[in-house]
Structure 1
Amino acid sequence: MWIVKQLHHLIKRILALEVFRTGRVTILLAMAFCVMAGVVAGRFGYDQQVQKRLDAERQVELAELHLQENQKITSSKDISLRMVNAELTWLQEEIKRLGDEKQALTEELNLYRKVFRDGGSNDVMAIDSATILNTNAANVFRFRITLIQLGRFDRPVKGELSLSLFGIRSEQPVQFDTWALVAAADKASLQFSFRYLTTIEGIIQVPDDVVPEQLELQTKLSSMPRSKSTVTATYEWRDIVQADF
């Protein structure tokens, strides 16, 4: 604006001179004034546009800084949340592990309590538990049977285990003995001689068209009176079969 004022005063002084009072010169001066005014106005407008652009760039920079700060805060919160979740997962797994250990120790303690309890006249040994585990082969199962000696440990318990499977075939009841269920190579594993306790494991194969219902276990003890020579236990198949081996 100062330039415009100075230009205006300069033109007025020039026009005051006698030599420039003719009409043609006046028109030329007026045209020159318009051109100069346009240049000055254009320059002024350009400066304003530059200033607006600079202001806009500063606002964008500030917005980017705010965005970066927010991202840092959000990232920090995400890291903290992941750490908390990881800690919680570890605690849950640790609680489960300790619970499983406690259950295993409790079962083992109960088993030893059974072994070392005072036995009666007929308590020589007992079939403590039986478990049937699925395998990858159809109708092929792994069995796990725990035997315990009761009360007297002056000599080992010797004998042989036999199995009987009761089931349904074509809506008719059927029964299979050890020889039909266990391979010849595994029959030797059914013989036992132990003190305190032992676990017998092996493989049984159920015929494809049979639905198992019960498993009967029988031990025949050697060098024992007839009244003590046989121990029998019967289990419902659905109660002892478990998940994949």
Structure 2
Amino acid sequence: MIDSRLIVRRERPLRSFLLALLVVNLLAAAGYMAYVSGRDTLAEEYTATRDERDGLRIDIHVLQQANTALRARAAVLERTEQIQRRAYGDVDEKLKLLQDEILALKEELAFYRGIAVTANKERALDVRSFEIKRDGDERAYRYRLVLTRVTKSDKVISGAVNLSVVGKQGGRQTTYSVIDLSNSSASELTYRLKYFQRLEGRITLPEGFVPQRVDVQVKAAQKGQAAIDKTFYWPTTG
């Protein structure tokens, strides 16, 4: 038999509304708490990041100041080193000049001593010495010829000097004039002296030429004076 009784349920709209409102409030509260928590976390992170940034800025400023100070010190040290190098260079140059001057004075003294020794032997003209030394370049040389005259006369004498470099080139005997080797515009070497005179110059030997000796001929312009001929062998260390 079928039960035909009806079940009647009463709706409670207020209860449902309150329940929904409660759920909404709970969700809102949870969202707000999450917002507040996130905001506080972000604020803390922002503060920490800002403090770190400010600290880095201070460190950068300190490092920049230190770098500027180091650059200034490096510039001072470099300038000091330049001054010292220049001073040392000046000292070396002055020392070299003094040494050259002392050497020249010693040679001058030896020269005058040589004249004093032969002062009792009157000689119209003589070749006192001849030197030739390498001058930097492999084939460049500097020569110096010293002419002397020991006499009671005060007259000045003059004349010409022929310097010839004799050697081997291509297996054959070859002779070059010093005038040609020095690229001088003068046609010959001349002298004019009362007691002594130095003749100096620079020559460049031709490629493949091996020097052996230098022939010196001194001719006087005055009549009655014979020419002087001397030979100087090429220095093995030059």
Q: TM-score, normalised by structure 1?
A: 0.66
Corresponding residue SS for 2:52 = helix
1:13-65 per-residue CA deviation (whole Å, 9 max, x = no partner) reads xxxxxx9xx54443333223212212211221221121022112112202202
Cα distance in 1 for residues equivalent to 2:63 and 2:46? 25
Cα distance in 1 for residues equivalent to 2:37 and 2:179? 111
Q: Report the structure number with the largest CA radius of gyration.
A: 2
Q: Which residue of 2 aligns with 1:243?
A: none
Q: 1:102-117 to 2 correspondence within 5 Å? A: 102-117=98-113
Q: Which residue of 1 aligns with 2:62?
A: 66
Aligned AA (1:161): V
Contact 2:162 2:177 in 1 (8 A): yes
How many equivalent pairs are there?
Answer: 213
Q: Which residue of 1 aligns with 2:3?
A: none
Aligned AA (1:232): K
Cα distance in 1 for residues equivalent to 2:73 and 2:218? 65
Cα distance in 1 for residues equivalent to 2:175 and 2:169? 12
Contact 2:161 2:217 in 1 (8 A): yes
Q: TM-score, normalised by structure 2?
A: 0.68
Cα distance in 1 for residues equivalent to 2:179 and 2:129? 24
Percent identity (aligned):
13
1:179-207 per-residue CA deviation (whole Å, 9 max, x = no partner) reads 995799734x3232213443436787866
- The answer to whether the aligner puts 1:86 opposite 2:85 as a matched pair is no
Corresponding residue SS for 1:116 = helix
Corresponding residue SS for 2:186 = helix
User: Which residue, out of 5, 18, 22, partners 1:26?
Assistant: 22
State the Cα distance separating 1:101 from its structure 2 match: 1.4
Bigger drift between 122-131 and 74-83 goes to 122-131
Q: 1:114 to 1:49 in 2, by over 3 A?
A: same
Greater share of helix residues, 1 or 2? 1
Q: 1:217 to 1:143 in 2, by over 3 A?
A: farther
- The answer to whether the aligner puts 1:194 opposite 2:193 as a matched pair is yes
RMSD: 4.0
Contact 2:166 2:176 in 1 (8 A): no
Corresponding residue SS for 1:77 = helix
Q: Which residue of 1 aligns with 2:211?
A: 212
Contact 1:213 1:238 in 2 (8 A): no
Q: Which residue of 2 aligns with 1:166?
A: 166
Cα distance in 1 for residues equivalent to 2:191 and 2:59? 82
Cα distance in 1 for residues equivalent to 2:50 and 2:36? 21
Runs (5+) with no aligned partner, structure 1: 1-18, 241-245
Q: Which residue of 1 aligns with 2:41?
A: 45
